[in-house]
Amino acid sequence: MLWNTLSIRASRIAATRRAYTLCLFFAVLSAWFTPSLVSGDDTQRDFFESRIRPVLLQHCYECHSKESKPPKGGLLVDSASALQAGGDSGPAVVAKSPDESLLLAAIRYDGLEMPPDERLPDHVVHDFEKWIEQGAFDPRVDSPPSDPALVSNDHLLSPHWAFTAPVRHRPPPTTDTTWPTTEIDAFIWEGFQQAQLTPAADADPRTLVRRVYYDLIGLPPPLDVIEAFAKAPSAAAWEAIVDRLLGSQQFGIHWGRHWLDVARYADSNGGDFNATFHDAWRYRNYVIDSWNRDKPFDQFVREQIAGDLLPARSDEERAEQLVGSGFLMLGTKMLSERDKEKLTMDVVDEQVSAIGQAFMGLTLGCARCHDHKFDPIPTEDYYALAGIFVSTTSLQGESQQYVSTWPRHALPTSDEHRQQVETHTTREQELSSQLKDVAKQIKTIEQQLAAWDTAKDAILVD
């Protein structure tokens, strides 16, 4: 018997390149954002890119960029110098002088009214006031991209917190020696002091048991467990409850669900042709088992991106790695797409997007059509990564097949298991043969009964 899995087959050369290039891509992305590359005021740059530029792009570029011919009122807002120069009415932005900035007067609806269709929300107006008061920092060059929808990523060379290496901080000193029991508590206590708050009282034993059950396994505790701990609460009893829950199968089921959401897990692909993933349950069990066995996260990642390429020390490990690579085949894929070249790139895009969100927290898919507007992902890097997955065989079938399918790969089985399967198959064949013989006998008997039934009412003629 062949056990199928949602794994993908790839050539050794192309797939090995997939594993190592991904590692290189992640490493380069992390190294990109080092303090040595930073220039300018990072805080102001981040404020402009997150609060100011998107508003200008959405509400002003249509009428006030080099693409609008001619720009209304002679005003351009697609570069720093253009904003300072202003239009027919004068300078649009005067650094550190909000009241002299015509742009701010317009969005306040103070004489001028821009955008004309609807006033911007108060918090947006406040952002522009703050921006101008702080000097109207604007990193844009005088020659914006030909397509105003494309936003330069030059500002993203600044060290965003997500791209800097974590720093270990020493716990702050505390004046209370009873409440903080861990180093994390010391940071929380410092926050309490700054906010002039006091911690809530400790929960009673029954509440503690209920909380830990819901937190670790997502199920209510049995009544006898609640009462036993309520009668004799102690550190040892508490540790015993926690250890028992952490060691239960339900722990992996409860917490593995979070990863299954990230991995787009479902029993069908959810597309226009909702094909059933008959073996998707293997990936679900793989995640649960990985969680319950405290699998190192780096190994967990490698198995899902390139499990079919990893060396294995046993058939069991090989099967686990193959099932893990099913991560790439999960998710919505429009398998009935008639343009198979487009389907190939759509599948690659779905895989790249899933990897970016699951393992990097980045929306890489945005860079399929343009440089990412807020993250450091140019289109060039997107297609460099996509090229790795183009060489991965994720679909099979004739090029003109109406509904494409996915490759199925047999999982390795032990000699003992194969012998059991062969024995079962042989016995099944024997029983099937016997069943056919019995069916023939029954048919013969039924024919004899029918003949007898006909004959009993006949008239005997001598």
The overall pTM is greater than 0.85:
no
- Specify whether the backbone of 10 is left (phi greater than 0), alpha (psi in -120 to 50) or beta: beta
222 and 343 in a single domain? The answer is yes
Residues 6+ apart with CB under 8 A from 130: 47
pLDDT for res 86: 85
Tokens of 412: 């390795």
**Quick check: 217 and 250 in contact, CB under 8 A?**
yes
**Quick check: 363 and 357 in contact, CB under 8 A?**
yes
Q: Where are the alpha helices (DSSP H) in 196-296?
A: 205-216, 223-231, 235-246, 249-262, 280-292
Between CA 360 and CA 366 the distance in angstroms is 14
CA torsion sign, 63 to 67 to 73 to 75?
positive
398 and 282 in a single domain? The answer is yes
Residue 225 lies in a domain: yes
Q: Where are the alpha helices (DSSP H) in 41-108?
A: 42-47, 53-59, 80-85, 102-107
- Structural domains in the chain (count): 3
218 and 326 in a single domain? The answer is yes
Residue 258 lies in a domain: yes
Which single residue is written with the structure tokens 């790839």? 10
Residue 182 lies in a domain: no
* Residue that terminates a domain, selected from 123, 158, 193: 158
**E strands, 373-445, where?**
392-393
Between CA 252 and CA 14 the distance in angstroms is 34
Tokens of 290: 């990985």
351 and 395 in a single domain? The answer is yes
Between CA 143 and CA 154 the distance in angstroms is 13
267 and 366 in a single domain? The answer is yes
150 and 217 in a single domain? The answer is no
250 and 313 in a single domain? The answer is yes
What SS3 state is found at 282?
helix
Residue 134 lies in a domain: yes
Q: What is the CA radius of gyration of the chain?
A: 33
416 and 406 in a single domain? The answer is no
Which single residue is written with the structure tokens 């494309």? 150
360 and 245 in a single domain? The answer is yes
Which residue range(s) make up the domain with 429?
Answer: 412-441
Digit-coded pLDDT (tens) for 246-271: 999 999 999 999 999 999 998 887 77
**Quick check: 233 and 212 in contact, CB under 8 A?**
no
Mean pLDDT of residues grouped by 10 in the chain (462 residues)? Answer: 38 45 51 40 79 88 83 86 86 90 90 87 91 89 50 54 80 82 90 89 93 96 94 93 95 95 87 78 94 94 90 87 88 76 86 91 88 83 88 66 72 80 90 92 89 71 60
279 and 216 in a single domain? The answer is yes
Q: Which helix (H) or strand (E) holds 10?
A: strand 9-10
| Nearest to 395, CA basis, from 440, 454, 319, 333 | 333
Residue 342: exposed, middle, or buried by beta-carbon count in 10 A (0-12, 13-18, 19+)? Answer: exposed
280 and 341 in a single domain? The answer is yes
**Quick check: 107 and 120 in contact, CB under 8 A?**
yes
* Residue that terminates a domain, selected from 369, 387, 410: 410
12 and 117 in a single domain? The answer is no
Residue 389: exposed, middle, or buried by beta-carbon count in 10 A (0-12, 13-18, 19+)? Answer: buried
* Residue that terminates a domain, selected from 138, 158, 178: 158
Digit-coded pLDDT (tens) for 321-361: 899 988 988 888 777 777 778 888 888 898 999 999 999 88
pLDDT for res 152: 52
> What phi and psi, each to the nearest 5 degrees, are found at residue 10?
-140, 155
